Amino acid sequence: MRRNGARHLLSMADLDRDDIEQILNLTGSFAEVGERSIPKVPALRGKTIAWLFYEDSTRTRLSFETAARRLSADTMNFSVSSSSVNKGESLRDTIETIAAMGIDGVVVRHRAAGAPQQVADWTDAAVINAGDGWHQHPTQGLLDLYTATSHLGDLDGKHIAIVGDIKHSRVARSNAIGFATMGARVTLVCPPTLLPPSLDGWPVEVTHDLDAVIDELDICYLLRMQLERQKQAVVPTLREYHHEYGLTSARADHLGAEALIMHPGPMNRGVEIAGEVADRPNAVIAEQVANGVSVRMAVLFLLLGAGLEPVDESAVGGGLAVA
């Protein structure tokens, strides 16, 4: 996110291994803050962050809001559904209006790929992509990397399968890049109808046979299956999908004892993951959610705090060093 001097987080593709390691290290420090009796530090006191969510989101939004609160930032909510946006205001007019109120950062979620990039072109505030269409969801990618490394350590040579609707998934695009950047071997598993039209330049392998790789996986990462895909006839039935591509109990038994089961949520139990499997001890799905807050604290802090003022270590907890 430092590349090109930009102070935005728009895509996992903008981060190199050092960037990611820096963020994950800082995430560890902020995780400790979350365990305190008063889980709050003054690191972003006086900073204002605007939420610009054009697409419904509960989890990501609550996670960002919690992160901002723990950093003592002021927040401003631009409620899209009840605003001028519904009256035809252009994206640029909207962001310029918000920026005119004085903001340091803006967290954007949009159903259209690239909207956060456009916002970044039109404002001086730091822009964080909280999910844009099928394109990217970098903080999800970072929290997944943090969760994986906290269990598996160094990801070099580890094997992750990302299973499901790759084509329409921003999580898959962020994680394919993120895990590969950290040295992992990435295999995409899905029916051909759910694969992007081209994988030129993607650091991945592909199989349509989950059983062929399940025994050797270190991480089985399941994507949410959008229920409307059945209506669009890209899979015949959800039952067949579950049978061929779901993490059934029988398949989950093939996973090694240390292998992680991950899911970005919200889950469709019985579709991409058997209900029982989601509750197994090696399913770290709730942990992903908890880590999401810490990762977003780290990202907000790096983009809005670091580099602008000398960092007071006591402000953010011990053991923290930010360049």
Partner 1 sequence: MGSIAITNGTLVDGGGTRRADLLIQNGIIAEVGERLDGDTAIDADGLVITPGFVDLQVHFREPGGEEAETIQTGSRGAALGGFTAVIVMPNTTPTIDSAAVVHQIHDLSIDALCEVVPSAAITVDRDGEALSPMAELVRSGVRVFTDDGVGVQNARMMRTALEYASGLSHLADGYEIVLAQHCEVDALAAGGAMHEGDWSSRLGMPGQPAEAEELMIARDVALARLTDGRVHFQHVTTARGVDLIRAAKAEGLKVTGEATPHHLCLDHSAVASFDTVFKVNPPLRTPADVAAIKAGLLDGTLDAIATDHAPHTRQDKERPFLDAPPGMLGVETAFAIANTELDAGIEKLVELLSINPARIAGIDDRHGGPIEAGRPANLALLDLDERWTITGAAMASRSSNTPFEGRSVRGKIRHTIWNGDLVVTNGEATR
Residues noted as catalytic = 59-60, 87, 109, 137
Q: Give whichever of 70 and 167 is closer to partner 1, judged by the CB atom.
A: 167
> Binder to partner 1 among 7, 70, 109, 135 (CB under 8 A)?
135
- Whether residue 44 contacts residue 304, with contact meaning beta carbons closer than 8 Å, is answered with yes
> Binder to partner 1 among 7, 173, 251, 296 (CB under 8 A)?
173
Q: Give whichever of 76 and 122 is closer to partner 1, judged by the CB atom.
A: 122
If binding is defined by CB under 8 A, does position 170 make contact with partner 1?
yes
Q: Report how far residue 281's alpha carbon sits from residue 43's, in angstroms, rounded to the nearest whole number.
A: 35
Q: How many other β-carbons are positioned within 10 Å of the β-carbon of residue 215?
A: 11
If binding is defined by CB under 8 A, does position 117 make contact with partner 1?
yes
If binding is defined by CB under 8 A, does position 112 make contact with partner 1?
yes
φ and ψ at residue 220, rounded to 5 degrees: -110, 105
Q: In sequence order, what DSSP letters do the residues of 141-173 get, joined into one string?
A: HHHHHHHHHHHHS--TT-EEEEES--TT-HHHH
Convert residues 199-238 into a mask of x (bound to partner 1 by CB under 8 A) and - (unbound).
xxxx------------------------------------
> Binder to partner 1 among 27, 129, 136, 288 (CB under 8 A)?
136
Please report how close the Cβ of residue 25 comes to partner 1 at its closest, in angstroms. Answer: 29
Cβ neighbourhood burial of 6 (10 Å; 0-12, 13-18, 19+):
middle
> Binder to partner 1 among 30, 53, 78, 134 (CB under 8 A)?
134
Distance of CA 41 to the CA centre of its chain: 23
Convert residues 272-291 into a mask of x (bound to partner 1 by CB under 8 A) and - (unbound).
--------------------
In the three-class reduction of DSSP (H, G, I as helix; E, B as strand; rest coil), residue 79 is classed as: coil
Please report how close the Cβ of residue 131 comes to partner 1 at its closest, in angstroms. Answer: 10
If binding is defined by CB under 8 A, does position 198 make contact with partner 1?
yes
Identify any residues that bridge with 269 across adjacent strands, giving them in sequence order. Answer: 273
Convert residues 60-99 into a mask of x (bound to partner 1 by CB under 8 A) and - (unbound).
------------------------------xxxx------
Angle at 140 between CA 191 and CA 301, to 5 degrees: 165
The site for partner 1, by CB under 8 A, has a size of 27
Peptide bond into 236 cis (omega under 30): no
Convert residues 25-44 into a mask of x (bound to partner 1 by CB under 8 A) and - (unbound).
--------------------
Angle at 210 between CA 205 and CA 215, to 5 degrees: 95
Q: Report how far residue 35's alpha carbon sits from residue 317's, in angstroms, rounded to the nearest whole number.
A: 11
Binding residues for partner 1 (CB under 8 A) = 90-93, 110-115, 117-118, 121, 132-136, 170, 173, 196-202
